[in-house]
Amino acid sequence: MTQSRPNEFIPPSECPVFEPSWEEFADPFGFINKIRPIAENTGICKIRPPPGWQPPFACDVDRLHFTPRIQRLNELEAQTRVKLNFLDQIAKFWELQGCTLKIPHVERKTLDLYVLYKLVKEDGGFDVVCKERRWSQIALKMGFAPGKAVGSHLRAHYERILYPYYLFQKGANLMWLTAFFDMHNSQKPTLNNDTKDKEYKPHDLPQRQSVQPAETCTIARRAKRTKGRCFKSEPGEVCENKPNLRRRMGSYVAKPEPVKNISVEVKEEPIEQQVEGEKAKVRVEQYMCLVCGGGGDEDRLLLCDGCDDSYHTFCLIPPLHDVPKGDWRCPKCLAQECGKPQVAFGFEQAPRDYTLRTFGDMADSFKSDYFNMPVHMVPTELVEKEFWRLVSTIEEDVTVEYGADIASKDFGSGFPVKNGTFKVSPEEEGYLSSGWNLNNMPVLDASVLTHVTADICGMKLPWLYVGMCFSSFCWHIEDHWSYSINYLHWGEPKTWYGVPGYAAEQLEKVMKNLAPELFESQPDLLHQLVTIMNPNVLMGHGVPIYRTNQCAGEFVITFPRAYHSGFNQGFNFAEAVNFCTADWVPLGRQCVEHYRSLNRYCVFSHDEMTCNIAAKADILELELASAVQKDMCAMILEEKMLRERAYKLGVWHSQQVDYDLLPDEERQCAKCRTTCYLSAITCPCSPDQLVCLHHIEDLCSCPVKSYTLNYKYTLAELKPLFQALTARAESYEDWASKVNKILKADQDNKNLEELRSLVVEAEKKTYPETDLLSHLCQVIQNADRCTSMAQQLLNGKRQTRYRSGGGKSQNQLTVEELRSFVNQLYDLPCTIRQAPFLKALLNRVEQFQQESSDLLAEDMPGSSALDGLLDEGASLDVELPQLAVLRQRLEQARWVEAVQEASDQPADLSLDCMRRLIDQGVGLAPHACVERTMARLQELLTVCEHWEEKAHNMLTARPRHSIVTLEAAIQEVDSIPAYLPSCLQLKDCVSRAREWIMEADALQAGGRIPGLAALSELVSRARGIPVMLEPLTRLESLVSEVQAWKESAAKTFLLRNSSHSLLEVLCPRCESGPQKSKSKKAKDVSVPCKKVEVKLDSLFDVEKALSTSKDTASAMATLSDVHQKELESLSMLRTSNESKFQSSPSCLAPTVCLCHTVPAGPMLQCELCRDAYHSGCVPGFKDVQSGLPWLCPLCKHSEKPPLDKVLPLLASLQRIRVRLPEGDALRYVIERTVRWQHKVQQVSPTPHPNGKVSLICSNIIRVVNVWIKIFGIVSCVTELSVELEELLVEGLLLQVTLPELQQLYSSLLNRFLPSQHSLQIPETKKEPEKLEKNSKRRLEKENIEGQHRDKIKKPKKKKPKMNKERRREEKQTTSPSNSLSDLSYSDDSEEDWSVCSAKQCQQPEGNEVNWVQCDGSCNQWFHQICVGVSAEQAENEDYICVSCSKSDLTE
């Protein structure tokens, strides 16, 4: 078969990985025993220590050096090695005949000569295959495609290369071959191959195993098969000048020469004891060709290097052209050389010694070069697939090195040890005594190896392993089938493959069947750790295999008789050791028997270990004592049987020998190599040789009677040891027997306390953790759990949760579980006192189930009955299927009852309530009663929604519906048993509409004139009623006309931007004085009046009185009262204001004007309130007309329209026929006006024809001129008679402009007060200093509202002011007064009245005081000294005061 590319490797399943807790990790063997049932089924397992367990690396790196083993990967694999051995034999066969083997190619693939040879041999041989023409079938078996002439090529290659070897293996000699080829008229075979064929370089495995390779050989590099290797010559030969055997492997062209058919027998090896004459004869014969018998052609005569026989080059098959150089073997020697048995395969040692550093550099360099990438980036899967590809190919060699089995006692363990050279830190001292320290694990108390006295490297003492990429450990099991544990200290992972112990014989059988040639020459091949086989091949033959990748810091444990192998992913450092537990003891004895069958030596004596353990029976753990007791019993029985057999054979001599004192190699059986301890057989002929009692016949040829039985113990001496073990073990057996009796179901049940006492006994006597003890503990645990659960069920601690959401509790029992639980209680091997109570509970549950079935059979049971039954079921604390159904039926019953209850109270059955009930009913389980109720409820909801929508549409309809239409709809709605808000609102609207119509009819009944308040309130109410009301349009028209009238009246009377209302202007003033702009409304409304008369202290009171008045007469009376109060208040105010100017000059200055400051400058006096005002504080100062009475802003409320504009307003109001307070006030104003005009006509002060005043005036008027001197200001007040003053005041109070008032005022002013209306400055110079001082102290209130400053003209050129005294002296000659008609005044006059505007005036005095005027927006004057300005600066520069500067910054 051609060497096809091997199938891609498929990784086996992963082995189990365990991660113990710190508590589990503290007991290594306890944890291993815990995981053994799982892990032994896979053969290997991996253990990850708890996080933080990181022992320090304690190996002496500087002192560690080792010589690794050389591993050629394709020589490790069993099937590949068989092929290589076969090719080496073929190559050697042809090489010894002077020919070179070249591997032919077929279909561009290298021909597998081994498979071809095997297939032809299996089909009957070359002759049969040719005769039956089976070459095509062989080609198909080798994997070649059909239809091609491959068979003929295979026949030619077989006949040329393999058939001569086949005949040679059959024993055909040279003469027979010559006769064969002559008979078939065929040419002698030669190896003149195609130039494309690849020359094969043999491995020469036997020669490599016996010598060390040359120092120049390169290790751990990738090599092709075409490269040569070094070989050692035969022993005893001088090889310095002798050509190497490889150098004679050349191609020689043979000339066809006739060959004589001369029979030549194969000669025996020459014997050294031959006489000299015979030697001489042989020497002569050596120069004669043994084929043709001739001695001619001496230059073509070859001399064999093995036996000195002579052959012509042309007589050989195949013939040779020239005499070969170097060694040459004749056919006889060729047969001897090829017939030698194969040497056992093994690893050769590397040529150099390594340290960890040098080996690591070599390993990392190899891996990085091989994969052409950094070592840490190579995936483990890639390395694994490449490894199994390399071991399966014969065309490619990869050689690696493995530092295996390095003794830790020489260089130190990787773990720290006590009294070692490596010093640990205090926090790392725990690793010294840790059970997972591989130096401690084999000798722990629970380990059987503790009782092996010898220190066995690799078994009791750890071995170190330094690996590189592809370095491998082959399939093997541990010595004595023991456990092994491997810890990877650091480095790249190690890949493991494991086979369970139960499949060990299956693996051995498969490997023997697939590579029988290897096992024929080496039966214990698998014990040599030199052979591997692809796991996929083994798995294909049914062998269970598991794998794992062991990373740094992880343990891998192999179990007894578990085959394992693997390889390293790269440079790493591992440590391994063996250990044995009590469960291994029977396997250990079985392994010794297996070794005996293989004639394999033992590492230690199993019998010696057993006796050592028995000597310490008193301190043994029960599990170990029990296991060793059984093992020792088998040992004694076997020893007794063997000694009886020896006695029967005739061995009567015996002697006691202390085998403890002899080393193991001096007491090994000469036949089976078993280490003897209890007994052995010796013979005087060979005292140093002994055999075990199994192989007495194999000792020597002497008679058996001469043999001597050597024994360690007599059978009687073994008995006390066995009895001590038995006593220790049987205490456990008695306990176990007692436990078994209690646990039997057919026995009377015991109390639970008796079972607990057995567990206490086991703990006290440290019985092993056997299955029986575990079972007992489990029974007690089950009994405790049953007791606890039974108590909980009886106590009712676990209540169902259906009230708060339903569902069963987490551990709630079903009825079947309860029934099973009750049966379980009665089946327990102990009595439980709660069992009868639980039986009663079960009866209650069954009764509940019956009652539930009866209740659920009804159509719709009541909710109270369902609720009671649910409470009963909840108290049972059992999962009852009926509870869910009862809950559903309870929800249904409650819903049906809720619907019925809501239907019984229609007033509360709203749409939301119906929808909510429907939503609740939708989620219920289906039921006939629920569906019927749901249908009725949905029908009612549909009708209600229809009428609700219809009623809502009627209420919001535009235009609105009539009352008749709405009443018809209401009659239909009344029959619906539900609460419909819109329908109720519709009823309310109809009722309100009827009531409104009645009120509207009553309001205008009998020709009554309605008031505006009642009319507006009625219209406002009508707008909130969504019903078409016929009178509403007419009433709204009346209200609109009234509003239009009020707007027209307001335009007529109110001033622009006036803050007064129309009613406030038209009504008499009801405030206590003009200082109050408005009275507080409704302040005392809520206070009950004790008197019958109405308060009229505010406009609100007046408006309320007018609105509530029944007719016009009562309204006029109310207004007359208000007018009377107005006159009284005004009289008091006039008297108060006039009194300000009648005080003595020594009094303080009064406060006047809007600004409430002292009089200053030209002032105006109100003719109504008689208060004085600064001309600059009065708005509209320039608009004051001469000859008209001047009213202050507080007294002037309206525009005072002419009477002819007012009368049409009253006429239009009378047409509207609506009473309102403003109308009554206007009517009263007109009546007052008419009455005043009538009074004026009666008392008019008209002049007499003769120039004198009329008698009436002369009797009434008296003029008194009073000069009031206050701060230099003089005011002229004219006092009239009481009647005339009242007439004038009343005329001024009228809000109508009358020509009679103007005539009256002008007449009085012109005739009686010709020049003293305005306040004047007198000509007298009384108290000039006081006047000057007071004038300087004037406040700066003159500039209120900023209007009078506009009248002060800024001089074009600022001039410093002179002293005011000089100015007064200059102005003494001017007119003593200024009339009201001449309101403008000069700058000089303004300067006389100016004061310094500085906040802190220094009031300078002297003949001349300099002033400066602000050039900003205020134009105020300042003393130069007060603002820090010099005369030069005031003349040449602009000056801006502080106030103007701040204003500019703010803007």
Q: What is the pLDDT of residues 1090-1132, one digit of tens each?
A: 444 566 777 777 777 777 777 778 878 888 888 888 888 888 8
Beta bridge partners of 355: 65
CA distance 932 to 934: 5
CA-CA distances (angstroms) from residue 24 to 29, 242, 435, 490?
10, 68, 12, 24
Residue 1143's contacts (CB-CB under 8 Å, 6 or more residues apart) are 1150, 1270
pLDDT for 1242 equals: 79
Q: Which of 630, 650, 723, 642 is CA-nearest to residue 678? A: 642
Q: Residue 588: pLDDT band by 50, 70, 90 thresholds?
A: very high
Res. 718: pLDDT tops 80:
yes
pLDDT for 1147 equals: 55
Give mean pLDDT, residues 470-491: 93
Question: Can you point out the beta strands (E) in 1185-1320?
Answer: 1268-1270, 1273-1275
Which is higher by pLDDT, 385 or 1415? 385
Res. 415: pLDDT tops 50:
yes
Share of the chain above pLDDT 90, in %: 16
pLDDT for 1113 equals: 82
pLDDT for 744 equals: 73
CA distance 84 to 208: 14
Cis peptide before 535 (omega within 30 of 0): no
Give mean pLDDT, residues 640-664: 89
CA distance 1296 to 1239: 16
Q: Residue 809: pLDDT band by 50, 70, 90 thresholds?
A: low
pLDDT tens digits, 673-710: 999 999 999 999 888 899 999 998 888 888 988 999 99
Across 108-117, 282-291, 982-991, least confident range: 282-291
Token digits for 893? 């019953």
Mapped to the 3 state alphabet, what secondary structure does 813-840 carry?
EEHHHHHHHHHHHHHCCECCCCHHHHHH
pLDDT for 14 equals: 95
CA distance 333 to 1168: 169
Q: Residue 437: pLDDT band by 50, 70, 90 thresholds?
A: very high
Across 216-225, 927-936, 1427-1436, least confident range: 216-225
Q: Which amino acid is residue 1107, in one-letter code? A: S
Res. 1080: pLDDT tops 70:
no
Question: Which DSSP helix (H) or strand (E) runs through 74?
Answer: helix 73-76
Beta bridge partners of 547: 14, 497
Question: Can you point out the beta strands (E) in 30-133?
Answer: 44-47, 65-66, 69-72, 102-103, 105-106, 109-110
pLDDT for 1 equals: 41
Residue 954's contacts (CB-CB under 8 Å, 6 or more residues apart) are 961, 965, 966, 969, 986, 1026
Give mean pLDDT, residues 961-970: 81
First to last CA, the chain: 110
Across 14-18, 158-162, 860-864, 1009-1013, least confident range: 1009-1013
Res. 1363: pLDDT tops 70:
no
pLDDT tens digits, 1192-1236: 888 887 888 888 888 888 787 777 777 788 788 888 888 888 888
DSSP 3-state of 264:
coil
Q: Which amino acid is residue 428, in one-letter code? A: E
Give mean pLDDT, residues 860-882: 81
* Measured CA angle at 82 (ends 76, 84), to 5 deg: 80
Q: Residue 1257: pLDDT band by 50, 70, 90 thresholds?
A: very low
pLDDT tens digits, 283-333: 444 467 877 877 777 777 777 777 777 778 777 766 776 666 666 777 667
Share of the chain above pLDDT 70, in %: 75
pLDDT tens digits, 342-363: 555 556 787 889 999 999 999 9
CA distance 1376 to 1004: 70
CA distance 328 to 334: 9
pLDDT tens digits, 559-582: 999 999 999 999 999 999 999 998
CA distance 948 to 929: 28
Q: Residue 380: pLDDT band by 50, 70, 90 thresholds?
A: very high
Q: Which of 1311, 1358, 1371, 1364 is CA-nearest to residue 1333? A: 1364
Across 439-443, 916-920, 1320-1324, least confident range: 1320-1324
Across 223-227, 865-869, 924-928, 1400-1404, least confident range: 223-227
Which is higher by pLDDT, 1018 or 511? 511
Beta bridge partners of 683: 686
Give mean pLDDT, residues 108-115: 80
Q: Residue 857: pLDDT band by 50, 70, 90 thresholds?
A: confident
pLDDT tens digits, 918-939: 888 888 888 888 888 888 888 8
pLDDT for 1186 equals: 61
**Sign of the C-alpha dihedral computed for residues 1244, 1248, 1251 and 1256 taken in this order:** negative
pLDDT tens digits, 395-409: 788 999 999 888 877
**10 Å Cβ neighbour count for 329?**
23
Angle, helices 752-764/715-743, rounded to nearest 10 degrees: 150
Give mean pLDDT, residues 839-850: 82
Average pLDDT, the chain: 74
pLDDT for 286 equals: 46
Res. 540: pLDDT tops 60:
yes
> Do 570 and 492 contact (CB within 8 A), yes or no?
yes
Which is higher by pLDDT, 1323 or 905? 905
Res. 494: pLDDT tops 80:
yes
Q: Residue 543: pLDDT band by 50, 70, 90 thresholds?
A: very high
Q: Residue 527: pLDDT band by 50, 70, 90 thresholds?
A: low
Verdict on whether the full-model pTM lies above 0.75: no
pLDDT for 1251 equals: 39
